[in-house]
Each structure stands twice: as structure tokens, then as C-alpha cells.
């Protein structure tokens, strides 16, 4: 099959970017989207042009490296997949495919389709952990966890930190990402002692870094490659209100 690509090219953070058109022939529908980009880059290198920079690693939807905005949607048209799990069979012959990086103020472009997601790292450092020293953990079965709670915590814990939720949101809100961690730890007894501080600190950090507020459009839930539910934002909000009104001070 043939595709008409329109790809965002930007040499670095200081230079203004632009769309460049590329036509690509002989694409096998069974190719993954990233393999199609590999083929494009092969061609560009042979022509002496700069290949398109994009991030990728595991190519099975779990590392969260790849994140492309394809025809106006994070990770493209299919549901519950990361870009690396998208195949060319999802597009029609001759289709125009627009490929952009995540667009959000807290995710500045590094080059072409690569953005700087270190803001997510900073949010995690603000409280996305249980402060337990090696050596002081109790015997694992001393902490019984209701099966349903463990399963819900897992459903939140599967977040791959790709940033699709931010890219999908008109407010560039990181609420789905933040809530996935807050909710996971709020559902487990291990997370309770620090629940208050965690909710306040992580949300304050997200605000500080320039992520927007949540206006419940639910776009993030639709686009999340791991199908993380809005329910976790609701749980995070409860945690946040509880924490805000709590008498407990640190």
C-alpha cells in the first residue's frame, strides 16, 4: 500500500518546526506503524536526509516510550493500543497520515516527534511511592489485601507513563496519570499512612509544572492505551478533598 505522510519536523527546541510531506510506497499492511517509520528513515538516510527522530523501545506496548499523535489522536485510531502496537492494516491505501509529537506546554519538543516528558518524573518524585526502607518490610502476607482492591490497584498501576492523556486533553491536564498512582496506593493498605501528603503534593506539583485542570471531558480515558478508567480521577479527587479538610498536619 501507499501512504501520504505529513510529519512534524523540528531540528531542536530552539528552532521553529514545520510539517513535511513524504510519500511512501510498498508498505505492507502487516507492518507496524513504527516499522513503517523505520522504512521511511531508511529511505531518508539513503537520500542523504535527516531521519525522523521518534522514541520507541519495547515495541509491545509496555515501556511507554513511543507516543505519536496520529491523525489528531494520541497513538492513532485503534483503541487500547500504544503507537508501537498500531499496524498499517488500520489505514487505507493512499491515506493521508498526519504525525505530530505530543502537544502540551509541559512537554517541550526535543527533536521532531520526541518530547521531553521529565515533568512526569518530577510529579512522581513529589510522592508517587511508599516510603519503606529495605529491611523494614513486614512479611508479605501480614498485609492482607482484598482481592477486588488488589485488582483495582493493578488496573491503575498498569499506567505506562506515555503521556497520551495529556496530549488528548484540551487543558493538557495530567490528572489521569497522577490519579493512576494516587488511586493505586489509596486502594492498598500500604499506601494509607502517606495518602494525605501524596494527594496534596503530587497534585500541587502537577499544577506547578503547568499541567491544566480536569474538566471531565473524558478524552484521556478514551485515548489511554492501557484503558485506565476515569474512576481513578474520582478516587483521587476524594483523596484530595479528604486531605484538604483533614486536621492532620505534618
> In the range 10-29, which residues lie near another protein by CB under 8 A?
11-12, 28
133 near another protein, rule: CB under 8 A: yes
Residues 175, 185, 202, 243: which binds another protein (CB under 8 A)? 185
Residues 9, 17, 22, 51: which binds another protein (CB under 8 A)? 51
Rg, C-alpha atoms of the chain:
20
Min dist CB 243 to another protein, Å, is 18
Min dist CB 21 to another protein, Å, is 20
Query: Grid coordinates in use for 6?
Result: 505529513
Dihedral of the alpha carbons of 120, 122, 123, 129, in degrees to the nearest 10: 110
H or E stretch at 121:
helix 118-125
53 near another protein, rule: CB under 8 A: yes
Cross-strand partners of 3: 24
> Per CB under 8 A, which region of 14-22, 127-135, 207-215, 240-248 contacts another protein?
127-135
H or E stretch at 198:
helix 195-208
188 near another protein, rule: CB under 8 A: yes
Min dist CB 191 to another protein, Å, is 5
State the number of CA atoms in the 13 A half-sphere of 226 facing the CB.
22
CB atoms within 10 A of CB 9: 16
Residues 74, 76, 101, 161: which binds another protein (CB under 8 A)? 161
Dihedral of the alpha carbons of 176, 182, 188, 191, in degrees to the nearest 10: 170
31 near another protein, rule: CB under 8 A: yes
| # residues near another protein by CB under 8 A | 75
Residues 4, 92, 118, 215: which binds another protein (CB under 8 A)? 118
Min dist CB 45 to another protein, Å, is 5
Q: For 129, which DSSP code?
A: S
Min dist CB 17 to another protein, Å, is 14
114 near another protein, rule: CB under 8 A: yes
Min dist CB 215 to another protein, Å, is 27
Asked if residue 147 lies in contact with residue 186, where contact means CB atoms within 8 angstroms, the answer is no
Query: Grid coordinates in use for 108?
Result: 517541550
Amino acid at each position: 500500500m501507499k501512504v501520504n505522510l505529513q510529519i512534524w519536523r523540528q531540528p531542536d527546541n530552539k528552532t521553529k518546526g514545520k510539517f513535511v510531506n513524504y510519500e511512501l510506497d510498498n508498505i505492507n499492511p502487516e507492518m507496524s506503524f513504527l516499522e513503517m517509520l523505520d522504512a521511511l528513515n531508511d529511505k531518508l538516510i539513503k537520500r542523504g536526509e535527516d531521519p525522523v527522530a521518534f522514541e520507541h523501545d519495547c515495541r509491545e506496548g509496555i515501556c511507554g516510550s513511543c507516543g505519536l499523535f496520529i491523525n489528531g489522536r494520541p497513538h492513532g485510531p485503534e483503541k487500547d493500543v500504544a503507537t508501537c502496537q498500531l499496524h498499517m492494516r488500520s489505514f487505507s491505501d493512499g491515506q493521508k497520515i498526519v504525525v505530530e509529537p505530543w502537544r502540551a506546554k509541559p512537554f517541550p519538543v526535543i527533536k521532531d516527534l520526541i518530547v521531553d516528558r521529565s515533568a512526569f518524573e518530577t510529579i512522581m518524585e513529589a510522592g508517587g511511592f511508599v516510603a519503606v526502607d529495605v529491611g523494614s518490610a513486614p512479611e508479605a502476607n501480614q498485609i492482607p489485601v482484598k482481592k477486588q482492591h488488589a485488582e483495582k490497584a493493578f488496573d491503575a498501576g498498569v499506567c505506562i507513563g506515555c503521556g497520551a492523556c495529556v496530549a488528548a486533553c484540551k487543558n493538557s491536564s495530567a490528572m489521569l496519570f497522577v490519579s493512576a498512582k494516587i488511586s493505586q496506593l489509596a486502594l492498598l493498605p500500604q499506601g494509607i499512612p502517606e495518602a494525605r501528603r501524596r494527594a496534596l503534593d503530587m497534585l500541587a506539583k502537577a499544577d506547578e509544572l503547568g499541567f491544566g485542570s480536569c474538566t471531565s471531558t473524558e478524552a484521556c480515558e478514551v485515548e489511554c492505551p492501557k484503558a485506565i478508567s476515569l474512576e481513578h480521577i474520582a478516587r483521587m479527587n476524594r483523596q484530595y478533598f479528604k486531605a484538604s479538610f483533614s486536621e492532620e498536619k505534618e
